[in-house]
A and B are shown apart, each in its own frame.
Chain A
Amino acid sequence: MGEYAPARIPVIEIVELSKYYGEARAVGPLSFTIEKGEIVGLLGLNGAGKTTTLRMLASDLLPTSGRMVVDGVDLAAEPGLVRARIGYLPDRPPLYGEMTVREFLEFAARLRDVAASDVPARVSEVLGLTSLVERADDRIDTLSHGFKQRVGIAQAIVHKPSLLLLDEPISGLDPVQIVEMRELIRSLRGVQTIVISSHILSEISETCDRLLVLRDGSLVAQGSESELREHMVTHDLAVVVRLAADETEAELVELVRGLDGVTRVARGAADEPGADAVKLAVSATADVRAEVCRALCAKGYAVVGLERGARELESVFLELAGRGKREREEAAS
């Protein structure tokens, strides 16, 4: 008997989804699945196709081709059923300013087919969840941007959707509101399956279980923060050596360059105090830390530092998301 593993239930399945405007491709073909309870970040620079993708997932925009299945229901076959299972907060929260918060949430709930008898209880629940109880009877057009964004999230979850789509929910908020919004999204963990889009990695890397990186409308990478870092791992090394009086930098470089797997050795920026300290930036096809250390020590070099080139997730993202742009610029030049 094998160990029992809980079944992974896909809430949403996207198959070859694409959007064209005339001949121009805006997004796709995209294929991915999102499982129940996951918080997924849709990451990309401005114009990468995040909003177009979310609009298609929210059935606000029809795809040119491809399939989307939510909870086993195909969007093309049953658009009404799929829409009832989705909550969507666009980049501008869709709010009727002349209504009070409570009136608006009641309207949104009934629009999404919540039974009339359940509406008051459900609205009270989301007012509590989004910390809007004290503003429940205020007109929406009197609220600050942060509160409006909360009402936007409240309308998106009032009907208990299977999938919650948030398009840049943190943009335009002040630092205090950003912290509050992160806490609000975190509080939905386990309750909702969420897709959040952003062009700022640090905004969502803490909140999301998995990141999907979009570039020019295509998915270029996906995985958890650590998997993405692994995806872009390199075998670059930084080696710091203190040279004795009879040792030269040229000999040192020659020695390292001769090792198996080393492709390039360059003089790195010296951040070690003392004129005798030399920092080498080593590129290799494999992890050559042990070989470099052994070879230098065997020749009597004083190795005072050896570390793998650290890659911050931000630089991984820039590499992934910006490569297309750079390639285009290079091609143009």
Chain B
Amino acid sequence: MSHVGLIFSRELKAYLRSPLGYAAAAGVLLIDGIWFMARALGGTEEKRLSATVLSEFFNGASGTTAILAIALAMRLVAAEEDAGTLVLLKTAPVSDWEVVLGKFLGVMAVILAVTGLTAYMPALILVNGKVSYQHVLVGYAGVMLLGGAVAAIGLFASALAKSQVVAAILGAVLVGAMYLWWLVAKIADPPVRDVLEELAIHHLRMRDFMTGVLRLENVVYYLAVAFFFLLASVKTLEARRWR
């Protein structure tokens, strides 16, 4: 596991030493702030329940975190391939699982840090309104689980594509399709409708977290999506050794 720690630490330093990490963090905080003011608080003419405001905040934060995860993950393998540094990891006595896990945890650390910086908004609701700590924690757990699933999809896209731009587009298309399945579900008949609704990455799954409801099936869903795409990333890296 020491290799995972080593790769994790290098990834984290790479984000801290490049403008990408700071630019992405600034963008997320700006959009979350605007969303919070303009959408979650709902302007001045309409009074809202604190719990509704908090749910709306998590709705916005889940979207920006998904975009952040794609933006951060697009470089993980594609940039190394482009710079010719991937060979360093491929020819070292390190397994592909260790490479993928180290990189994934590096991205997750940045997502966690950026998400942590948004905590002043729920804190304002806690101080000025009536919401439970549990609602805040469950909401953040949902944001992080979604971020993890999307980061794993982004990592897979980065392992598959030869450039960061293609990786970002591929990742966005995959995540976008999984977001929009619930729209397809609307026009489908059971059992296809049920399957698509259950598989949609945001629609039903995130709604529970946003409203402070913790369901094991939702946690398992996000962990399963993350595991599936991390496994796909490992297999993609293995396949790269043949060409």
Contact = CB atoms under 8 A, between A and B. Distances in A.
Given A59-B91, A155-B88, A111 B17 contact: no
A84 B93 contact: yes
Nearest to A106: B6
Contact of B93 (A62, A81, A95): A81
B95 A80 contact: yes
B95 to A, nearest CB: 7
Give the secondary structure class of A's interface: loop
A186 to B, nearest CB: 25
Contacts of A182: none
A37 to B, nearest CB: 22
Interface in A76-126: 79-81, 83-84, 86, 88, 90, 92-99, 107-108, 110-113
Interface string B193-230: 00000000000000000000000000000000000000
B63 to A, nearest CB: 30
Interface residues on A, range: 20 to 34
B41 to A, nearest CB: 40
Contacts of B14: 96, 98
Interface in A254-312: none
Contacts of A155: 88
Given A21-B243, A107-B10, A83 B92 contact: yes
Interface string B3-46: 10010001001100110000000000000000000000000000
A96 B10 contact: yes
Nearest to A78: B93
Interface string A60-88: 11100000000000000001110110101
Interface string A1-24: 000000000000000000001000
Interface residues on B, range: 20 to 34
B241 interface: yes
Contacts of B242: 61-62
A107 to B, nearest CB: 6
Contacts of B89: 111
B134 interface: no
B241 A62 contact: yes
A208 interface: no
B85 interface: yes
A111 B88 contact: yes
B88 A108 contact: yes
A81 B95 CA distance: 12
A79 B83 CA distance: 24
A112 B84 contact: no
A106 to B, nearest CB: 10
A58 B241 CA distance: 11
Give the secondary structure class of B's interface: helix
Contacts of B88: 94, 108, 111, 155
A94 B87 contact: yes
A83 B242 CA distance: 16
A313 B102 CA distance: 50
B87 A60 contact: yes
Contacts of A95: 85
B235 to A, nearest CB: 14
Nearest to A88: B91
A97 B79 CA distance: 12
Nearest to A111: B92
Nearest to B9: A107
Contacts of B128: none
A61 B238 CA distance: 10
B91 A58 contact: yes
Contact of B92 (A61, A90, A112): A112
A90 B241 CA distance: 15
Interface in B62-105: 83-95
B241 A61 contact: yes
Given A81-B93, A98-B14, A110 B87 contact: no
B2 A110 contact: yes
Closest 4 pairs (CB-CB, A-B): A92-B84, A94-B88, A80-B93, A84-B93
Interface of A: 21, 58-62, 79-81, 83-84, 86, 88, 90, 92-99, 107-108, 110-113, 155
26 contacts: A21-B243, A60-B241, A61-B243, A83-B91, A84-B93, A86-B91, A88-B87, A88-B91, A92-B84, A94-B84, A94-B86, A94-B88, A95-B85, A96-B85, A97-B83, A98-B13, A98-B14, A98-B17, A99-B13, A108-B92, A110-B6, A111-B3, A111-B92, A111-B94, A112-B92, A155-B88
Given A84-B93, A107-B10, A111-B3, 5 more contacts: A59-B91, A80-B93, A83-B91, A86-B91, A99-B13
